Amino acid sequence: MTIRLDGQVAIITGAGQGLGRTHALALAERGAKIVINDLGGSRDGTGQSSQAAESVVKEIKAHGGEAIANGADVANFEQVEAMVRQAMEHWGRIDILINNAGILRDKSFLKMTPEDFRLVVDVHLMGSFNCAKAVWAIMREQEYGRIVFTSSSSGLYGNFGQSNYGAAKMGVIGLMNVLHLEGAKYNIHVNALAPAAGTRMTEDIFPDALFDLFAPEAVSPGVVFLSGPDAPSRKIMTAAAGSFAVSKIYETEGINFTPTELTAEAIAEAWSTIDNPDRQCELQAGGEQSMKFGQQAAIKQGIKLKL
């Protein structure tokens, strides 16, 4: 099976360099028309330049593809709406959104300022919301859409000095979960990518050997797959150095306490059972948890539920 994106339009944020650039080139190679969005700022979010976005547009056009540049700040909803209008005026549809734009302001939590925390959350989480919101009605009307959020192992598992980044990157997982449910009947598939790559974002984090091994080009095929017509939905794809995996959130079966049994000490005594992963499961919606706990309580107390 060959994945083709002919006639489709993709918006890729932060596409002027790094992962965004390789995502753009990979999708363009498959026939997609690309909006290269990049504010052109530095790694910490300061500054602005159109040079990087224009350079990627030239690369795509040199290979026979179609692309336009856009310098919207993803944290500014009005600018994002204008970017979406530009795409619609140019090509009349939007099929794919890759939320890739990001900044870093790493500090230990003790030294983290509210401004540093807020700015990173504004770009990563609010920026992802802004872009998804701006294309959502279009994708619903088309009854087709593919959205990829960019998460991170820093959000999924934690990373020292990245409380702002980790919080934002876990936030997009919550957004993905809900949009998956709301978009399902409109054929809008929503996924997340948690990549590791050697880019300017990680140049002082990875040792040289890993930096070279973790080429951005080794991640972008995963984005092509998640952008395609047969893409899954509600998956967290992790990717680096040509390796791909899926991260999942499980909940243990747990146990129920009756009102007369319920104390903090009872929870402490039963902790090994509560934490036992043997019968854990992957819930598909928040309501499933309530149903599970309700059924446990009813069984324990001999109550017949009429559902």
pLDDT in tens, the chain (307 residues): 899 999 999 999 999 999 999 999 999 999 999 999 998 755 555 556 689 999 999 999 999 999 999 999 999 999 999 999 999 999 999 999 999 999 999 999 999 999 999 999 999 999 999 999 999 999 999 999 999 999 999 999 999 999 999 999 999 999 999 999 999 999 999 999 999 886 655 555 656 666 678 889 999 999 999 999 999 999 999 999 899 999 999 999 999 999 999 999 999 999 999 999 999 999 999 999 988 888 898 888 888 877 6
pTM (2 decimals)? 0.92
Q: What confidence score (pLDDT) does residue 41 get?
A: 57
Q: What confidence score (pLDDT) does residue 13 get?
A: 98
Catalytically annotated residues: 165
Q: What confidence score (pLDDT) does residue 197 get?
A: 81
Token digits for 256?
């129920």
Cβ burial of 253 (10 Å; 0-12, 13-18, 19+) is: middle
Q: What confidence score (pLDDT) does residue 205 get?
A: 62
Beta pairing partners, 37? 13, 70
3-state class (DSSP) for residue 13 = strand
Residue 105 burial (CB count, 10 A): 20
CATH of 9-247, one of 3.40.50.720, 3.50.40.10, 2.60.40.1180, 1.10.10.60: 3.40.50.720
Domain chopping of the chain, boundaries: 9-247, 250-307
Q: What confidence score (pLDDT) does residue 212 get?
A: 75
Residue 265 neighbours by CB under 8 Å, 6+ apart: none
Q: Do strands 243-247 and 236-240 pair parallel, antiparallel, or not at all (unpaired)? A: antiparallel
In the block, residue with structure tokens 């539920």: 305
3-state class (DSSP) for residue 21 = helix
Q: What confidence score (pLDDT) does residue 305 get?
A: 72
Residue 133 burial (CB count, 10 A): 15
CA dihedral (239, 245, 247, 248) positive or negative: positive
Burial 38-53, CB ≥16 within 10 A → b, else e? bbbbebebeeeebebb
DSSP E strands: which ranges in 14-66? 33-37
